[in-house]
Amino acid sequence: MGMILALLAAGVFSLACAGAAGAGTTLWRDLADTSAVATADTWAVNPAAPAVDDSGRVAWSAASPRHHERRALALRRLASPEAPGDSALLARRWLMLSMPGVPGLPLYALRRAAPLFLAAGDTARADSCWAALAEGSGLWRWESVRSRAQRAQARGAPARGDSILAGLERRELGALERAAWLAMRALDLGRQVVRTAPALPPASEAEALIESLTVARSDTLGYQDQRDLADVDALRGDRESTARRLERAYALAPASDRFRAGLKYAEALRLARKYAPAAAALAAACPLGTGADARAQCLLERARVERDARRPDPALRLYEQAVKASRDTALIQTALWERAREAEQEGRWHQARSDYQRAAALGRRRGTDAAFRAGLLWYIEGHGRDAATWWGRADSDAGRFWRAIALRRSRPAVADSLLKGLASQPGYSFYSAAARETLGVRGWPGASTVIAPAVGDEPALTLATLLVESGLGDDGVDLVLRWAGGDSRDTLFCPIPPGQRSTSLIGAAQVAFQAGRIAQGIRLAQRALGAAADSGDDRRWGLVPWIYPPGHRSLVQWRVQTARLAQPAIDVALLSALIWQESRFDAEARSRSNALGLMQLMLATARTTLGGARAVPAESSLFDPALNTRAGARYLAGLLARFDGLVPAALAAYNSGPARVLPRWIELSRRFGDALFCELIVFPETEDYVKKIIAVRSAYRELAPRLAEGDGTPP
């Protein structure tokens, strides 16, 4: 084993970052008992990429030139389920591979060979492969250590398994892998998982671990455990379980925490829509608090229960009582803000405006937002000057846009200056899009540029692209996602230099697009843009086109052509933007609420739209892009018809249901434009959703991404 690790470290990893071609042949002879070596031609990375054509449009090539057919064919044959030979022979063939110019391939071969040796019953060689992999690269370190530890535990050697796991104590791991490592290490470490990483998947495993080990020790979960596990359940979206755990925590809380625990329990009941039990929990907990602020906090929580139960009058009274009872400026401003939002939802403009102005006068976090909403309510009541005054106090893009709208008649020069400032902002935000539409301009200075990705010497990108072209797209994308996470101690897949991070991440995005993993490609492109912004790179806006690929373009175009016969408001940009927001073009996406596929449809909605269970026989049917987009486009067309072609109204209904689109919003938008409708939505999640789609639609309209001539399907 020592010889294997030494050869692996010296022969492969130390040379990779310097651009060495291939190494580590001795290792493969030792493990595979063969001296056969496969060779192939020189291979260069050249995956697909967007570029600006002569007309200023962004053209995406759908497939990269293949310069390495022999290498890809060799890997494809080895990875094929129908590959000839027994598992041990296949494992040896993996270890025979040596391809100059792909220094990461020996490690990948170890990763493929280990489970094959295990399937053949050769546990010693499987363990050797995993051990060598663990020493070779941080990207696969956790996977290899976990496999070895699980094997030790399965053999009835828990001490050996724990020793293997303990070897990672001081090794650097990513957040997800660190959490998974903690989850394998008994009760105390399981508690660390739920406290330090409650939102990550291993926290759910740790939750079950803590409960089972606690029962095995004839013990019970304590106050802090119940609170920590409630956080895990809340982040997972399980409101019922969150409420149950916080009920137990409340019963176990020490006297010093009992008031706070009671409020948390009541909040959980409210979020689970159990309003009567929430009110009862508050009635029990509130007497435990002392002081004016405790009383004000109770009044605020009671107001929220009444608000969510749709009893606006008592909610508004309780909010005002909380304001009068509190000495805490932050709590007062929160109560005023929430009271104003409730009054606005009920159409009580004067009361809402008064509360917004009171909240704005307090400054702090909500001050700008409150000033903006006060101006909005002045504006819709016909007081443009007062609106402009309040918008002038709101130091935000929202305030500048609407101040410009209010001043267009009385002070056109000022209005145009404000709008041009917003329109020239790089990127595609809601307000820059609205400003460009108002002015009738397209893009911003320098918009028609595309930054090329890093190519050439990145071992991770070289190997990942080879894997993708060999039909191993999942492994290729998994590799670049791990590499993009970074491991400063990784000597094979070298850490990305700070000055090259954005272009290297775009190289990773290329790999994902080439593999057909559009959602991962978009997320990597967004990370690249963020990295460029962090480094102050003035060229960063050339990364923007990468974020808006023409995903499923042929299918989208077909659906638009069909839907427009019934509803002209649908176009390619709108449908692309909706899919972008819902799933990032991931056909297998599933939300916490069980919405499925490209357009995130519920099974009942799809069946109602397409005519019953025969048209959509099962949930799995919605993972079919053709069926999903047929149902989604038809549903969207129906909503547009219902709301007379008003796009923001249809999008709001798509997100939260038609019943939550209030008639007065539609009436006001007819007087003041579509942008006002977006501002009037009182549900924060829906408001954000609609504004994002409007912004992304502008990106698809302005960039007009298309497939280059002669290409087939989009990336």
Which of 462, 406, 494, 450 is CA-nearest to residue 672? 406
Sequence-ordered list of residues with C-beta below 8 angstroms from that of 55, at least 6 positions apart, any chain:
none
Read off the tokens for 580.
């972008």
Q: What are phi and psi of 435, to 5 degrees?
A: -65, -40
Q: How would you classify the pairing of strands 58-60 and 706-707?
A: parallel
To which residue do tokens 């301009």 refer? 441
Q: What is the SS3 string spanning 319-338?
A: HHHHHHHCCCHHHHHHHHHH
CA atoms in the 13 A half-sphere facing the CB of 267: 16
Q: How far apart are the first and last CA of the chain?
A: 43
Using CB atoms within 10 A of its CB, is residue 187 exposed (0-12), middle (13-18) or buried (19+)? middle
Q: How far apart are CA 35 and CA 710, in angstroms?
A: 44
Strand partners, 707: 60
Q: How far apart are CA 396 and CA 378, in angstroms?
A: 18
Read off the tokens for 464.
């990942």
Q: How far apart are CA 163 and CA 498, in angstroms?
A: 36
Q: Is 344 a catalytic residue?
A: no
Which sign, positive or negative, has the C-alpha torsion 117, 121, 125, 129? positive
Question: Among residues 582, 679, 687, 702, which one is catalytic?
Answer: 582
Sequence-ordered list of residues with C-beta below 8 angstroms from that of 91, at least 6 positions apart, any chain:
32, 112, 113, 114, 116, 117, 120, 122, 125
Active site residues: 582
